[in-house]
């Protein structure tokens, strides 16, 4: 009998709390998976940023990537490892690099998703280049921004076509506000998107592999309160609609880890922001939902490593477009999209794997998230973000919210 070691790499940036908890909980799980006469075990390692030979072998079976959306060296190493060594990475670095919000809106509109009316407008200013003036003088068409705003209707939102973290997002209430915001937008290329108002619900659905968590979300609250602690706040029908849409979006773009924001208005869930393929993973934001993230990350990474899951870099959009082009209601199309997405995520195989090999995760996690290891991880993250005089209070706040999750897990609620 031999031990087969599967190695999981963590590609990290400013992450502090979740890697500590991921590493410690993996160790406590002590996963041992029979493989014929052999046994599969798991090791985790934080990856370093360093020069690399394009021919050097890759020692990892799976990499959880939190860095390459902005750090080029790590991104190019990961691309090399996928191409040369069949490394499995989430998320797909090519798709993450190429699919800004504009592409995601266009694609999901093609599939029939009820995305609010959206326009792209040229930037107010440009970065000078040798060909700029000749190009603009020949081809830049004058346009009436106020007329476009009137056509979309108010209120609307101006936001960068490739942005994130709510940077550059402006709520526009009338023509004067639109013109003022545009004049201040500089060289950013902007979307104008019709506001979904009034709305009865704002939900962020987080997907990690074939796992989903719907969170009542308040974007106007301070960062530590945006993820609400509500449980059972959605009907079964609404939860299915949100998780189905998120699964299809993630599968379509090759993202194992992504979040989808949707607004409920008039009985319809409108996805408004769903190119978030490096979602917030910090306890200072997620708090009550933080244990779910760690557990979901463990399930999916262990499954991918144990089964030697192959990286599917072919997105194969045509299969979705063939369904989109059929003359049938959106609900029927969505059901077909979901079938495609379930095959991509190997949902049945994953669920069977978890039942056979990770059935102890809930029990071990319940105990783990009451330990000093978790409290210290919280404090480290709080110390990195908050002034010294607030560290004790916020450490206690986030710790207590995780203990509330443990109470829910014990049966006093549902987590």
Where are the chain's structural domains? 3-98, 117-194, 199-277+312-341
Backbone torsions φ then ψ of 336, nearest 5 degrees: -70, -40
Domain 3-98 has CATH 3.40.1350: no
Q: What is the pLDDT of residues 218-250, one digit of tens each?
A: 988 999 999 999 999 999 999 999 999 999 999
Which residues in 266-401 belong to E strands, given as ranges?
Answer: 268-273
pLDDT of residue 166: 66
Per the prediction, the chain carries an average pLDDT of: 95
Q: What is the pLDDT of residues 61-110, one digit of tens each?
A: 999 999 887 889 999 999 999 999 999 999 999 998 889 899 999 999 99
* 246-271: average pLDDT: 97
pLDDT of residue 413: 45
pLDDT of residue 144: 97
pLDDT of residue 68: 80
Closest to 193 (Cα-Cα) out of 107, 95, 98, 271? 271
Is the pLDDT reported for residue 332 higher than 80? yes
The CA distance from 255 to 13, in Å, is 19
* Predicted confidence band of residue 118 (pLDDT cuts 50, 70, 90): very high
pTM (two decimals) = 0.94
CB 208 within 8 A of CB 256: yes
Is the pLDDT reported for residue 125 higher than 70? yes
pLDDT of residue 164: 67
CB 95 within 8 A of CB 315: yes
Measured CA to CA in angstroms, residue 309 lies from 46, 79, 86, 223, 414 at distances of 21, 16, 9, 36, 31
Closest to 161 (Cα-Cα) out of 195, 120, 196, 122? 120
DSSP 308: T
Q: Could you tell me which CATH number the domain at 117-194 has?
A: 3.30.1490.20
Per-residue b or e along 171-192, where b marks 16 or more CB atoms closer than 10 Å to that residue's CB: ebeeeebbeebbeebeebbbbb
The CA distance from 187 to 210, in Å, is 38
In this prediction, what percent of the chain has a pLDDT beyond 90? Answer: 92
* Topology at the third CATH level for domain 199-277+312-341: D-amino Acid Aminotransferase; Chain A, domain 1 (3.30.470)
The CA distance from 76 to 254, in Å, is 18
Quick one: CA dihedral 206, 212, 218, 221, positive or negative? Answer: negative
pLDDT of residue 412: 55
CB 255 within 8 A of CB 92: yes
Min mean pLDDT across 67-71, 212-216, 251-255, 325-329 is at 67-71
The CA distance from 238 to 208, in Å, is 19
pLDDT of residue 389: 98
The CA distance from 328 to 212, in Å, is 27
């Amino acid at each position: 009998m031999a031990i087969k070691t599967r190695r999981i790499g963590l590609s990290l940036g400013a992450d502090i709390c979740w890697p500590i908890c991921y590493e410690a909980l993996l160790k406590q799980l002590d996963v041992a998976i029979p493989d014929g006469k052999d046994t599969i075990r798991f090791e985790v390692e934080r990856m370093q940023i360093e020069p690399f030979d394009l021919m050097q072998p890759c020692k990892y079976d799976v990499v959880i990537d939190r860095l390459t959306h902005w750090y080029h060296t790590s991104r190019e190493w990961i691309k090399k490892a996928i191409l040369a060594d069949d490394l499995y990475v989430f998320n797909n670095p090519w798709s993450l690099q190429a699919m800004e919000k504009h592409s995601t809106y266009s694609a999901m509109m093609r599939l029939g998703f009820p995305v609010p009316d959206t326009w792209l407008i040229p930037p107010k200013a440009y970065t000078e280049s040798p060909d700029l003036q000749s190009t603009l003088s020949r081809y830049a068409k004058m346009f009436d921004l106020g007329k476009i705003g009137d056509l979309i209707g108010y209120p609307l939102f101006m936001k960068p076509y490739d942005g994130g973290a709510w940077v550059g997002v402006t709520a526009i209430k009338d023509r004067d506000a639109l013109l003022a915001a545009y004049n201040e937008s500089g060289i950013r290329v902007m979307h104008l998107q019709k506001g979904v108002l009034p709305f009865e619900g704002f939900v962020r659905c987080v997907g990690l592999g074939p796992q989903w968590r719907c969170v009542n979300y308040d974007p106007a609250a301070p960062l530590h309160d945006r993820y609400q602690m509500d449980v059972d706040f959605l009907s079964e029908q609404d939860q299915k609609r949100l998780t189905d849409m998120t699964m299809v979006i993630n599968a379509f773009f090759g993202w194992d880890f992504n979040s989808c924001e949707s607004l409920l208005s008039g009985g319809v869930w409108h996805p408004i922001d769903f190119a978030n393929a490096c979602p917030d993973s910090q306890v200072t934001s997620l708090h009550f939902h933080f244990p779910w993230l760690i557990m979901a990350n463990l399930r999916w990474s262990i499954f991918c490593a144990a089964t030697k899951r192959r990286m599917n870099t072919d997105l194969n959009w045509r299969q979705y477009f063939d369904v989109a082009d059929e003359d049938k209601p959106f609900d029927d199309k969505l059901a077909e999209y979901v079938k495609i997405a379930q095959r991509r995520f190997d949902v049945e195989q994953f669920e069977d794997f978890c039942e056979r090999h990770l059935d102890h995760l809930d029990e071990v996690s319940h105990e783990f998230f009451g330990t000093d290891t978790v409290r210290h991880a919280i404090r480290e993250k709080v110390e990195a973000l908050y002034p010294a005089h607030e560290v004790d209070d916020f450490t206690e706040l986030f710790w207590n919210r995780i203990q509330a999750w443990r109470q829910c897990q014990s049966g006093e609620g549902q987590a």
